[in-house]
Structure 1
């Protein structure tokens, strides 16, 4: 009982840290976008955590951990039969259904992960999506797509049986959000002024880089819970190595992105530095418990280069991702998942191809699902704000508020 208590307390601490990450995402997105859309960004992030927890309790948790599957793929709790209820043993609630933590601790920890997937999409589609359209997308994606994809590995589905490995969600959280972000920015189109008449990308600076920097440090702190909690116990050796590899990959990713972007663009770009840290964190997440410190540094170094090249690729494709969500969460998520087959305890061609198969299956499912949801919304109620609202700012047109009204800050035109 003492071990259960210790494990459960550790899991609750990690849950709090993952919850705190949502402040980090909020500050990062606000800082990297323009002041005229700050309220809109914050509103979306507040909405995501609130509706995410409710939907996950009603549908998502049962769908993600169904117990059994139809044809090995469809969770037998499909569309849930709503409600969050601990299992019963001899007519009594069995709260200690796992030797590491209780049923309700498990729900809360996993619920924080669920909300993260929609937050990734929020940053990518910022500054031009209709708030109502985004809210409907987020609810449907969190209710159906995220838990079904997660069930295939974490719920004991066919990817788990295949041997696919994703410790804390490089694919099951980050790329699930990243694929949806990619589809969203493709269907939305670029912000007004992002590309000139010749198709050349124009910088649209974020209005508060100090806030963005604070957001990244909060996210790094929160990753102690994201990866540390994924050990699913307070085991000293496993939690220690997991936190070490997480931190080393983050540091290496930041340094790598800073050096490579300086070499490529001949300036010290703080935003590349910050996204390099996040890329390192996403890259290590799939195999944080399997890597040595040296492996973690190598994964982080490669993640940082991927960030710089990924941002350039998004611009070349004439896609507009204001916060770099696709390079960070999708491309580094794919890299981190494949890295499990290259580095660490599971390295080998057999494991690499299992990882590749998992990436492909999840990617196809998420792209098709996101395309159906986004396209249906676009065809019915529309996805994008009108030009005047986008130019004058979503805060005034959708919220009737100014994030900095007390300071007399004028709206950008």
Structure 2
């Protein structure tokens, strides 16, 4: 089976790494890919929203299955593009259509969806520039800390949490006046939930579903979860406090109502649902939905899959997910993200990377890398590479990840040294 993965990050390298293990695989392509995917697949120089180019390439290379990694092409309608073209509709696309992708593409839509279908979540109200004064009054009626969320896609940066009312008011005004472009033309003011966060991942074919291992990622740039938000600095799977009883509650109170809601809305959803959760005194509350796998969570979830991922994805594409066989490695997986100096602010690209040949007992998932002209691997993004490892305990897995993180070198390298700090003991 010929497969095309759309995307260029650590998540897409993890997809390629796992799919590459399948005996069902023919040719594997990644568009546009990175230096890591180039080692195990053929990179294709296509933008993730170049649907015409992706379609032409898919026909030329007899692609049977497309796995869409990032959210942007899903929200833009890549699945609809293939479904609505007679010459393309036989190609199975793993990722929801435009309507299903609104679960991530519009926080207002997803919050109304949760309320409608009884999914436990924080209460919120949505405001735009014409209702700014109402929004400012609403903030005055709420308790700190104040949570402001841009309605649309803002590359993980559209959430502001502050305990200062004046700061919350000025942020609301700035957001509605275009701080995050069109993404913040509508802003949700949301009740702050206190507890400990985790993520649960579901693959569905619209009828049946499988729940993948839980994971917890670390978003802040600084140790102790301080500083600016990033795309993710590391992750751990499984999450120690997410025991069988808690995950059963997640399935009954969140997963099933979500999938039933999608069916009730007439949304034919084939793909992943990333459910960002808060564990509040043993009860799950949904913070957000994403309509794809997380990054860097994929880099700890996929190493724990004792299963043929390509076979599972193919069954999902055929609406036969009930036939899938999923075994999970009981060990803990950890990943540590190496980033560019200055990230998540301004940073330089093109730094030469060394030390790959010294890596042992880890999987290096490339995120922001590219091949240089002299055979070098160069940095090509803010988040550069995720160093994943498996261990009998979280501590043993982290030892391996951190040993690997020390081996890779490039100018400006930075990584957090406290991944899993809140899960120890």
TM-score normalised over the length of structure 1: 0.25
| Higher normalized strand content (fraction of residues) | 2
Relative CO higher for 1 or 2, CA cutoff 8 Å, sep ≥ 6? Answer: 1
Give the structure with the larger helix fraction: 1
